Chain A
Amino acid sequence: NAGVTQTPKFRVLKTGQSMTLLCAQDMNHEYMYWYRQDPGMGLRLIHYSVGEGTTAKGEVPDGYNVSRLKKQNFLLGLESAAPSQTSVYFCASSYRDSAGNKNIQYFGAGTRLSVL
């Protein structure tokens, strides 16, 4: 069972470079999320998607873009990386259970990004 897979696991960028982080889930989940984790701040939601072709802003969306062209994939893009985007990025997915709840989220192992 792969679950939620994030690619790459580590990356170092120079200021101004661009990159895309890939999240893939094989659980047929409808909902997907991107978080960043910074020391002492827990996880903060960047963007999320409630279904294929949809995206929405979270708590800290500035400097990031996302796309959900296929149900199983959720891409996070940094168009012009800044040192403030040095962080660990987590992708998660969730489903609607029999009671209509969609709050049990399944997480990937994370991508550690450093911007110099």
Chain B
Amino acid sequence: GNSVTQMEGPVTLSEEAFLTINCTYTATGYPSLFWYVQYPGEGLQLLLKATKADDKGSNKGFEATYRKETTSFHLEKGSVQVSDSAVYFCALCPLGNTGKLIFGQGTTLQVKP
């Protein structure tokens, strides 16, 4: 079946450190891939997405590349800020464009000044 696995959290970094949050997936065909972010007390917001192999999604300094060969969609940012502290969710939409998303378990990021 379809599934998403993210690295365990929490991830604690100092401001301006490099961030990587790993995400791997299992799916048939070519699903669409997403990163959502949830700030404290809020709902999820789309951060970036990629719809086909080798696509790179980017937004607010975050990037993720759709790697079909390793079934991965790792999230990266070169220099994190305290305001990036949040929970990050990797998700996929299976082939067939049903609109239903399958989420990973979420990774909490805490950035310290």
Q: Which residues of A contact B (CB under 8 A)?
A: 4, 31, 33, 40-45, 48, 50, 58, 90, 92, 94, 100-110
Contact = CB atoms under 8 A, between A and B. Distances in A.
B32 A101 contact: yes
Number of contact residues on B: which range applies?
20 to 34
A44 B93 CA distance: 13
A42 B99 contact: no
B44 interface: yes
Given A92-B43, A103-B93, A103-B99, 15 more contacts: A42-B4, A42-B103, A42-B105, A43-B101, A45-B100, A94-B99, A100-B97, A101-B32, A102-B97, A103-B97, A105-B46, A105-B101, A107-B44, A109-B43, A110-B43
Contacts of B34: 103
Interface of B: 4, 32, 34, 36, 41-46, 49, 51, 89, 93, 97, 99-101, 103-106
Given A40-B105, A43-B103, A101 B97 contact: yes
Return the 3 tightest CB-CB contacts between A and B, nearest first. Answer: A107-B43, A42-B103, A103-B93
B21 to A, nearest CB: 14
Contact of A31 (B46, B99, B105): B99
Contacts of B36: 107
A102 B51 CA distance: 12
A48 B89 CA distance: 20
Contact of A58 (B46, B100, B106): B100
Contacts of A103: 32, 34, 49, 93, 97, 99, 101
B45 A107 contact: yes
A21 to B, nearest CB: 14
Contacts of B106: 42
A93 to B, nearest CB: 10
18 contacts: A4-B43, A33-B100, A40-B105, A42-B4, A42-B89, A43-B101, A45-B101, A48-B99, A90-B43, A103-B93, A103-B99, A103-B101, A105-B44, A105-B101, A107-B43, A107-B44, A108-B43, A110-B43
Contacts of A109: 41-43
